Structure formats: structure tokens, C-alpha cells
Amino acid sequence: MNLSPAPQCPASLAGQLADSVQYRGRKASRQGSERRRLAILEAALRIIVREGLRGVRHRAVAAEAEVPLSATTYYFADIQDLIADSFALFVKRSSASLAALWAGLDEDFSRLSASGARGEMVARVIDLAVTHVQAKMRQRDEELLVELAFRQEALTNPQLRPLFLAHQELRFRFSERVVRALGSTAPFEDAQVLTTLVLRMEYHAIVDGVEDFDLEAQRAVLQRYLDLLVGS
């Protein structure tokens, strides 16, 4: 079977996405104004975590950000622009974080692949997936809940869809890089399965909660799948 050329490094893609994020609201002209605009967006994200998108209203966001109501309407006359820019800020920060997390992985995978240490590679992948979910859980599920709200809003908001798809593409590209390094002969299909399994872990992290989240059971699912992939 002829494989397509190796995809671009996911860390590079994540960095590019972080740099390419565009905001829709009024631009800040001074440093102090930029701090206030960011405070408004961060307040909107906190409300999304607590109450969902229904809670994002100019007055509620102004109170959460501790700024005058006129400040939120100045930067975001349209509440949809406020929601869109809140998600844009989330994507920018999330992508930058993923770029840092994935930096250097290519070198690790190349070294392990050259040595034929596929078992060690599987363990490395599982540790990375677990670390990824644990990091989100330590933030009290904030990133997980924002991403879930982002996913739902993108289903009905065509202006958000391209940004959402670009963010989701990062997950897939990382999974594809991993399964290729593990010797997959069907990297596109195997990457979809791996991506889905990590999303499943995140879903259980939200639904089960920190105290009831069975991390070892989730780890065992990943172990089983990757062992099958390596043995195929």
C-alpha cells in the first residue's frame, strides 16, 4: 500500500493556527485598551464554563469583567462577535499550548522508530494522551467545557465553523503523526480512531468528574487499541 507523504508537523500547524487567529470585534488601539478587551473575552469564557452560551450577555459579561457596560458594547456591539472572539481567544491559547506540548515529539518518535522500540512508543503516546487530559482536568474542566460549547455552537454558526474545523484538524494531524510512527498501513483511518478515543477520554472527564474519573480504565482502552495497531 502506498502511503501519502508524511503530514506537516502538528506542532508547526498548531503554531500557525495560533498566529493566524483573527478577531471580529473592535480592535484595541492602546495597550490598556487591549488589556480591557482581553478581560472582557476572558470573562465571557468563564461565563460559558459556568452557564453555557445562554449566559453570555453584555451586562453579565461587564459585571464578570468588572468593567462598565459601555466597554463591552464598545468592543462588541454584536453579542455574536463577543462569542466568536471569545472562542478565537480560546483557540489561540489552546493552539499555542498544543504547539509547546508537541514540540520535540518528532525527534522522540524518530529515535524510537529507528530503534524498533514500538512498545516504548506506545507507552509514550499513552502518557501524552493522559497528560493532555489531566492538564485539562486540573483546570477544573474549563478548557473541556469551553471546547464542548465551541463544538456545539459551530454546528449552527457558519462563521465559527472554519475556526472550529482548523482546531479539530490539529487533533487529527497529531494522531496521524503518531500512527504513522507506529507503522500504520492505514494512517488516515487509524488516526480517526485514535482521535475519537482521546475525545472519549475527555468526555468521561467531564461527565464522571475528577473524583470518579477512572483514568486507568481509559489508559487500558488506549493500550488495547495501540497494541492491536502495532501488532497488525
**DSSP for 26-63, written as a single string:** PPP-SHHHHHHHHHHHHHHHHHHHHH-GGG--HHHHHH
What average pLDDT does the segment 123-128 reach?
Answer: 85
Domain locations in the chain as residue ranges:
21-93, 104-232
Q: Is the pLDDT at 78 greater than 60, yes or no?
A: yes
Q: Which of 51, 50, 52, 25 is nearest to 40 (CA)?
A: 25
- Topology (CATH level 3) of domain 21-93: Tetracycline Repressor; domain 2 (1.10.357)
Grid coordinates representing 3 are: 502511503
pLDDT at 143: 78
Grid coordinates representing 211 are: 473524583
pLDDT digits (tens, 9 = 90+) for 92-117: 888 887 777 777 666 777 677 677 67
pTM for the model stands at: 0.79
Residue 150 has phi, psi (to 5 degrees) of -60, -45
CATH topology of 21-93 equal to that of 104-232? yes
CA-based torsion, 85, 90, 91, 97: positive or negative: positive
Architecture of domain 104-232: Orthogonal Bundle (1.10)
Residue of higher predicted confidence among 22 and 191: 191
pLDDT at 34: 85
Beta strands in 8-150 (DSSP E): none
pLDDT digits (tens, 9 = 90+) for 55-73: 999 999 999 999 999 999 9
